[in-house]
Amino acid sequence: MTRLDARLTDLLGPIRDAAVGGLLEAMARRLEGGAEVEAEPVLHDPSGRLLRSGPLALPRRGDLRVVTANRRLIERIESPPPLDFAPITLVDAGGFVTTFAPFRWDALAIIIAAGQPRPNWAPVRHWFLEWFQTRYADVAPDLAGTVHTLDGPEKSGAQWRIMLDLGSAPVDCISDLIGAFAATGAGRMHLGSTVD
């Protein structure tokens, strides 16, 4: 596991806070409107089985399950546009390179340059499942403190692309994420928005 340096933690905190704040505000509006609301529900298929998707067969969470007048929907709450900052590059002791560019907490695009034809995705899958587990926190006790979705990996030339919704997971999940991607056999990763 890699620990993030203080400047990166200071940068990522407001990005997460904006996403979590938007989720809590949307939840409060629905509750004020008389709806029943469940934050960050685990998604199931119509037969009640855990919904799994993508090549890694991972479970998914929605942002809110809202029930009004016998109508039930899963809502996705989009976080505000990303904060602007100059890209930051970190190199860990093993030589793994991570570059951070502006991104939204609920729409993190990850691109890795694979050091082998097919990376070992087991560490990424393990990371996701670990951070998918509920971790209620003092910062936002109404939320689960979890990641929501991971779409991909999808190959594009010599690179692999993954889309990640970090949900209400704490900033600490990023250090574990870097360690998981370093363990895939990749030499570098880029974290940014979908338009990088």
| Pairwise CA distance, residues 135 & 118, whole Å | 32
- In the beta sheet, which residues pair with residue 59? 52
Q: Residue 176 pLDDT > 70, yes or no?
A: yes
| Pairwise CA distance, residues 35 & 65, whole Å | 10
Q: Residue 168 pLDDT > 70, yes or no?
A: yes
Burial of 77 (0-12, 13-18, 19+ CB in 10 A): middle
The band of 138, judged by pLDDT with boundaries at 50, 70 and 90, is: low
Instruction: Record the tokens describing residue 38, joined without a space.
Output: 């469940």
The band of 5, judged by pLDDT with boundaries at 50, 70 and 90, is: confident
Q: Quick one: average pLDDT of 155-176?
A: 94
| Pairwise CA distance, residues 153 & 164, whole Å | 10
| Of residues 7 and 123, more confidently modeled | 123
Strands 71-75 and 97-100 come out as: unpaired
Work out the number of other CB atoms within 10 angstroms of the CB of residue 1.
9
Alpha helices in the chain (DSSP H): 6-32, 122-132, 172-182
Annotated domain spans of the chain: 1-196
Cα dihedral 10, 184, 169, 81 in deg (nearest 10): 60
Q: Residue 137 pLDDT > 50, yes or no?
A: yes
Q: Residue 90 pLDDT > 50, yes or no?
A: yes
